[in-house]
Amino acid sequence: MGDALLTAPVSRRLPEAGAVLELLKPLTWFPPCFAFGCGIVSAGAQPADRWPPALLGLLLAGPLVCGMSQAVNDWFDRHVDAVNEPGRPIPSGRVPGRWGLWIASAWTVLSLAVAAALGAWGFAAGVAGIALAWAYSAPPLRLKRNGWWGNLACAACYEGLPWVTAAAIMAGGAPSAATLAIAGLYSLGAHGIMTLNDFKSIEGDRRFGIHTLPVQLGPARAARAACLFMAAPQVAVAGLLLFWGAAWQGVVVAVLLAAQVVLMRRMLGDPRGLAPWYNGTGVTLYVAGMMAAALALRAGAGA
């Protein structure tokens, strides 16, 4: 089956330029770039003071590491996508042959080169992100085969790792314990966001042995688990901010969470149909809370 899918439905020797960009999925770059921005804010540094590493870090977090992870995932998921989403670049033949693997490999090398220019913290973060991306999609680990571990790895790459990396780069040293705690909590919450993304591919995942939470638990229970994963860390964040004396930021996080709960109740009525809707509404409130927490850290919360 694998060799058959390497033969493109459309006879091409080179990938379409637009298909390569589609393979790297620019829309997915926003979460790690936003988390990197939260790290910049939380460090209390002005980007103008250190604009070269700030810009390089954004490039690394979004177009490079995140883009690379999308190419890696699409290459090793090409059999699943042929069932779930046959119009994607690889199964459709617009990225023919082994070009998907070659693009993923080239982007990996480029990511390492840019990470090396960001010093020890940036390079370590780049290596960690790249390792998690390959481990998530590629054999033998292929962490995505289990939704509990795979979503945790993916969430760390999208939220916690960019946040901590930016804070370290901008501050010129190890992030504070408070920054690590807040970034870690929002990473844990992103586990639920990753689960919502799995509702669109239940049939193909089940067929090819990818045990996402919707496959393992069924749509209704998986949706409840996703909501719990998203809500519980935000309760902890709001509590920490209030305990640290960041009153208004803690209240903002709590109010945003209350609004998410209202949206969650609607989504739970039809998780398969409304998961994309919640991603465009509730997740927006989730990331707004991240910035409120970053502002609290900038003001000295938890110091």
Contact predicate 256/286, CB 8 Å: yes
Write the CA distances from 123 to 53, 154, 168, 218, integer angstroms: 12, 19, 12, 40
Q: What is the pLDDT of residues 214-230, one digit of tens each?
A: 999 999 999 999 999 99
Q: What are 264-288's pLDDT values in tens digits?
A: 999 999 999 999 999 999 999 999 9
Please state the domain extents for the chain: 17-172, 176-303
Instruction: Please work out, in degrees rounded to the nearest 5, the angle formed at the alpha carbon of residue 289 by the alpha carbons of 288 and 293.
Output: 120
Q: Is residue 302 very low, low, confident or very high in pLDDT (cuts 50, 70, 90)? A: low
Computed over every residue of the chain, the mean pLDDT equals 91
| 47-102 tens-digit pLDDT | 666 788 889 999 999 999 999 999 999 999 998 888 888 999 999 999 999 999 99
| Confidence (pLDDT) at 274 | 95
Q: 59 to each of 37, 66, 73, 116, 180, how far by Cα in Å? A: 12, 10, 20, 13, 22
